[in-house]
Structure formats: structure tokens, C-alpha cells
Structure 1
């Protein structure tokens, strides 16, 4: 931070969608490089094949599903997080913040803030923060690629990008949308290149405020640097939305962790964060939920738009297991015999 070599792309927050498009689709040392500390440039094939719906055409597997829990993590446009938890851990019974302006009931006309498409859309997806629309593609949306549009992408059973017709589909009824480049038409076999952010400046700032909150919870740098990330993302300052969190270590810890989950999602960090925090026993030890892709259509207010356990997930009928012993791998019996060491906890 003191080197003054890096900064957030679009730090003034005037156009978060343009900023994220620049950050996640530009390649090399040109535009967007101010935030990229260490990246891996490679063919975009591997990522874009698994995040492009099959109905788009070409080689498109479209199976990289976003969990309902991740969908719930994004804030509303007013900066408040709509889902504060789940009753008895049951994700079909979300605990909704009444001040967030969130609704999970009904449909209405909605213009997608990135593409301008007017859709009849589930209210769950309306009035969310910009990062939601950058990261999440849901059933019924229009896919944009170069000069080609694919309308009404369908993730339900026998839908054009759902189960039934093929084994290529998102098991949660959502697709990851980050790193999608609308200027590329992947159906022609052009997948472009991807400049994957292994380490970017936003993570530096999040690491700093997280450590500082543990060391000195009243330090003004916590809100200063956390708000830099939120400003770029187009949401209000944290103390404006949660005035009681400033100086409160426990509340700020929860908000910082939520910010990491949203800002850094699909960047290979959440897996390690929950282990660092030793929260994986609760964060990862639960069923995976999504929309009901077994439904026969995705008509408004139909069965598709129900939170259900994702029975197609990972061959375990949607139930992921994480116990204390999972924080460490077991030591092989051969090694135990060789040096007479103690086996890791729980194995």
C-alpha cells in the first residue's frame, strides 16, 4: 500500500459496471493493470466453456453453478445485505433484513443494468448491488456475445440449457458470469484470453482491514479502506449502512468476511478463507441449495423458483460434509511407520 504502485480500477465508483468489465476482461499490462498485482494469462477456453450456456452454441458446457448461498451473499443497491442467516440452518427459510428492501415473492418487469434487456424477473434478483449482476446469470436471461444474442436461456428440466437433454447444465440453476466478455462470440470457437487475478489490490485492502480489525478494532483505517472497495462497487459506505458496526469488532468481522465473499467470489479464495477462519464446519458442512431445476418450465411463480437442495451436486445428493478433521489431510501410513509420528486429528 505504501508503494503507491497499485490502485482500484474505477475507484471513484462512477461506473462500476465499466470498471469490472475492464478489470475482468482486459488482458496484459494495459487497461486494468493498476489493480492486478499477480495474474495468470491463459486461453479463455477452460473458463468460458464451463460458464457459457449450451443453447449459445459451439462448445459450451455451462455447468459452473453458483450456489444459492452465494446468491444470497450479495448486498442490495442500498448496501445492506438482505439475508442475515437461515432459520435452523435451513436455506429454504432465509432470515430477511426488513430494512434491505428485498423481496422473494413475485415477479415484475426489470431492466438488466448491464445489458439493458427488459425481463419479467423474479424479485429476488432485482435492485441488487452491481457485483451481483457482474457475477450471476440466472434462468430466463439473454446471453450476449459479440453480435449474437441468445434469448431466454432455460435451466429447467428439458430446457435449452438445463438437465434432461444433456449432462451439461448448472446444477444450481445459476451460472457464474464473472470474466464473461460480451465482445466475444464463443459459438464461433473464439474464447479469447483470460487474465486471471491470482492476487489483486482489492484483496490487499481486504487483508489489511481484516487484520486491523483483529488488532485494533477502533482504527479509522478499517472503514477508510473497506469503503474504497465498496465505493468502487457502487454501494454506500459501511458506516452509513451499518452505523453500529464501526468500532465493534464482532460486527465488523462479519461484514468484512461478507465483503470478501462478494468481492473475491470465483477467484479461488473462499475455500481457503473458511479454513483460515476455522468456520468451514458451519460454512461448508451443509446441503447445497439452488433453484429447482427439476421443474418443467421457469414460468413466473412456478416451481422452478423454489429453493431446493441441489441433488445433482457432487454425487452426494447435495449434502456436503466438513468436520474438524477436514482442516488437515491425513498423513500416509507409510510416513507414520517411517518416522513414528502422530496422525493428524480425527484420522
Structure 2
């Protein structure tokens, strides 16, 4: 999937609207492909190729399924990097989470582009050229902020009593540059991220799209005499789903939530209040009352291939702030369907995660009043359980095939029956289109896309920060509280729709209980999307809990307490700097423990 995305991006880069005559774009590659700085001034398509590297290297561009490194999932692939990492092989020389070289190399392309952008002859029409300059530079600043956020996720950590980030380099480097420079502090990196977001917001529109009249042109351009046609040429539909001001605001909010979290707050001056307000700013694009705009189908955005296929180019459903290209494929299903549906069953949800889903009445299964029956454990549960996870007796696939995961099951769906069988008694259902036929002799593909940022993530980020800043029902300067967000999300899931949500109400006056509820809702809503690994670490929660499973024999249910151990050490709340970099550059401090 990632390779297809890269090809799509490369095609996009070299078909952008950067020409000097009319509306038709042409691109004639020079005989010599090595360009000097000045060569790019009259070759806007080549200059834009530098920016294209930012999208090729987008850290959100493909599924990682790093849930396998947490208490939420295991893999039946013995060579899975996250499985090896979680069970003891994580080192500074072997790091499946590492982004250091890749993103910092691509960061160099962004620096080169920002340096040259003002000199590029973007169009014969000077007004259009100036707007292209704004758009392209704003795009680069926003992508550089995104890179910073992900570099901090992967590599920020403590050394010599300071919380450190990356070496901040904002100028192009060459063979004469000094590469042996120290890491900046985490806070300095957050400051740089914020500065880049400010630049992106100043230069970019909230959203892209054609305008029908000159009066719809933003004032800063209208005052210069820009017409609707000129504005649409630059900021019209052709630019949709590229970095815009709304996306940049969301990146800043994500970074603020990270910085305010327990693992980073001692090395940051970002407060929970600031994080909450930045999350609210990111949600403001939904309208005056964001709670009313929560997508009623936002927890199953992936389910309908037909709906995805019918999305106009560049358009997003209500749940999605930013996404990758839609494509028709069977790849996810081939990887993750149970064996009898011609899948490899690669990601196996744990009993730990299954137990995190409450009952349909909203009470945790550990609550004596919940009605949970350990001898009938999947009855009357949160509807999201059956939407996201295949358990014994679930149906899946285009024929609604019953899947038997019991250890005494007769086919390869059974627990540990074969190399493609589940190790936990569960298979992943979320993200998969159940209309797909993965049979290699009669494949029926369907449309998918990779979401880069979902609004549900931002809502949950707001709830987390707002609860810490103002308590469960406090709103600060905003019009909604953590309680309001969690109520809306749980009602969307089917909890508390026809009756009072007793558990939520009990948390409405208890910050600690609300915190645990928010953490759990985040775990459920965002499962298998690559959040759990980072959340456990920034919360400084237990990262060593063994992965559990369910063994069913003769209709009896027995918990498997240690399907897979977790071999993390305390210093592993922060990832390493690559050992190869530390060896080369003595000014580059390694994070403690690595």
C-alpha cells in the first residue's frame, strides 16, 4: 500500500499547476538531472519535487500496526519487528520505531525548498506567482512541523538531566556544514514546531477549494486585486488534501498534548489548559458547536468501500480532517482476515483489549452491577466490540461466515491451529471491508484509504486535556467539556442512548475516574490505528503487562494469562537515538538507558 501511495504522490508532484502560459502544465526534464540552487528558479516543477519528498516521507502515510508492541495485540508472524521489539530485542541499533535518519533526511529537502521558494518563477502572472509562493512555503512549514512532532514522539528523551529533542536545523546543509551539533531541548523543539505552524497558518487557507466570485477571495489577496479565477488557480480543488491551516493547527495540538503529558511535562512549559485550547482551535473548523458535528458514522469510517469510492477527489467525510489517496485493493484483508477467508490473520487482539470494552450499559465488566457473565463473555457488550474484533462465533467476510476461534475448532481459524491462526483467540475486524473477497482465484477488491488525522482523535485529545485543566465538566474559554465529548462519543457507540450512562455520570464529578474513562475511550476508539504505543508511554502507564488470550475448549472459557511477555525496561518510555549516529557525532547525546 505504501508503495502505491508513493507512486501516486510522485505523479501528483509532477502534474501540479506551475506553468507560465494558460492552464496547461508541461514538464520537460533537462538532460542533466543534477540541479544547482539557481537552476530551480525557472523550473517550478523541479523545485516542487523537493517539497514532494515531504509527502513521500509522510510518517502518517501507511499503517504501522505497532499495536503489536503493546498490550492490545500480538502478531502470528514470528519475524514481526514489533513482536521482536516487545519481547526483548529493542536496542539503539535495532529500532522498528526509528524515524531519525529518514525524517531528518527529508527535513533537509524542506529546508532546501523553503530557501529557494522565494526565488522560483512560479508563473508569468505576478499575483498568481506570489500566491503560489505563499502556498508552497506554507505547505513546507506545515510539513516540517509534522516531522518535528513525529521525531519527538520517536526520539525525545532525557539525557544529562534535560529532556532533549533533535538538533534544530532550519538552513540547507551541504558538504561543508557542521553535522556534529548537539540536540536542542524538547521545549526548544516545541517552540520551533509552533513557529512553523504559525508560518503555515499565515500563508495557507483553512481549506482549499474553488471560489465562485471575487468577493469570496480572502481579503489579503482581494486587496491586491486578485480575482476568483486567479485565486482558484492556486488554492482551488487541485490542492485539496495537501497541508492547510486546519491540518497545521491539529499538528500543533497533537504536539501540545504530548508536551503536557506526564512523561514530558517536566521538560516542557506547555500546560494542560494550553493543550485543551489548541485542541479546541483544531476543532473550530467543524463549526460553532463541534459536539453537534461529531460524525454519527465516525467510528466506522472504513466500513463502506462504496462510500469511499464515491468520495470526490480530495473530499473528506465528516470524520476525516486529512487522509491519503483512496485505492482499490485487497491488501489489508489478505493480511488480516482469518485463514478461512484467505487471510493471514496477522494482528491478533488481546484479551486485555477485549476486557477493556464495557457492557452495553456502559459499566466496566469488573463492576459487580455490570451484568457481565464470564461463561458468556461476549453477550450484551459495547457494540464496538463486535465491530472491531472477531471473537468465537462472530461472522465476517462477504458471506457472513461464522468464525470459530475455539481451541477445539475444526479449521485453521482455531486457536494456534496453524501459522496463520490466531494466538489469542481473536482476529482484527476493524479497518477491514467485509465485502472484500480475498480468495486469490476470485478476488473482489474494495476501496480503502489511510486516515492521517481523524476528528475523533482531536475530540479525545480535547477531552483529556480539558479534564486535566478544568475537571470533567469545566469548559475554560470553550463551550463544551470533557464530559460532553465522552458522552457524545459513547452515545455514538450505542452506550447511554436509551438510558442513563451510569458510569459516565459517576465520573462527571471525579477527575481521576474521568481520566481513566477518557484513556479507555481513546484505547477503544483508536485501536489498531497506532496510538496505544505512544499513549502508554506519554501517560507513564505500565508497559510490561503481558498479552493475554482466550482459550475455549468444550464451550468452557479460560483466560490465557501470558500469550506473550513484554520485556520493556523503565528507560524505554523514550525511544533511542540511532547508535550509528551517536557513534559518528560525539555532540549527539543518547537518551538515558540506551
TM range (shorter): 0.7 to 0.9
Could you report, residue by residue, the CA deviation over 1:177-235 in whole angstroms, capped at 9, with x for unpaired residues? 11232333332322322223331111111111111111111405111122111111111
Matches within 5 A, 1:187-198: 187=439, 188-198=442-452
| Shift of residue 63, structure 1, vs aligned partner | 2.9
**1:149-194 CA deviation, whole Å, 9 max, x = no partner?**
4335345267412366631112111001112323333323223222
**Cα deviations by residue, 1:312-342 (Å, 9 ceiling, x for unpaired):** xxxxxx1112222112233426525632454
Q: In structure 1, what is the equivalent of residue 555 of structure 2?
A: 300
1:74 lines up with 2:329 in the alignment: no
Name the residue aligned to 1:34: 318
State the alpha-carbon separation in 2 of the partners of residues 341 and 224 from structure 1: 45
For residue 219 of structure 1, the aligned residue among 474, 479, 482 is: 474
TM-score normalized with structure 1 length: 0.75
User: Which has the larger displacement, 236-245 or 130-139?
Assistant: 236-245
Match of 2:572 in 1: 326
1:256 is paired with a residue whose SS is: helix
State whether residues 348 and 424 of structure 2, in contact with CA within 8 Å, keep that contact through their aligned partners in structure 1: yes
Pick aligned residue for 2:378 from 125, 144, 158: 125
The structural deviation recorded for 1:259 is 0.7
Specify the SS of the correspondent of 1:186: coil
User: Between Structure 1 and Structure 2, whose CA radius of gyration is higher?
Assistant: 2
Is 1:3 paired with 2:288? no
Report the structure, 1 or 2, having the larger strand content: 1
Q: Pick closer, same or farther for the CA change 1:23–1:227 going to 2, 3 Å.
A: farther
The unaligned stretches of length 5 or more in structure 2 are 1-282, 476-480
Deviation of 1:287 after TM superposition, in Å, equals: 1.6
Change in Cα spacing, 1:43 to 1:205, as seen in structure 2 (3 Å) is: same
**Structure 1 range deviating more: 212-221 or 331-340:** 331-340
**1:265 paired residue number:** 527
> What residue number does 2:515 align with?
253
CA–CA distance in 1 between the matches of 2:517 and 2:417?
Answer: 42
> Cα distance 1:130–1:239, how it changes in 2: closer, same or farther (>3 A)?
closer
| Helix, strand or coil at the partner of 1:307 | strand
Structure 1 segments of 4+ aligned residues over 4 angstroms from their partners: 19-23
* Equivalent in 402, 426, 431 of residue 151 of structure 1: 402
Q: Residue 433 of structure 2 is aligned with which of 154, 169, 181?
A: 181
Tell me the TM-score normalised to structure 2 length: 0.45
What is the count of residue pairs matched by the alignment?
A: 290
1:50 matched to which residue of 2?
335
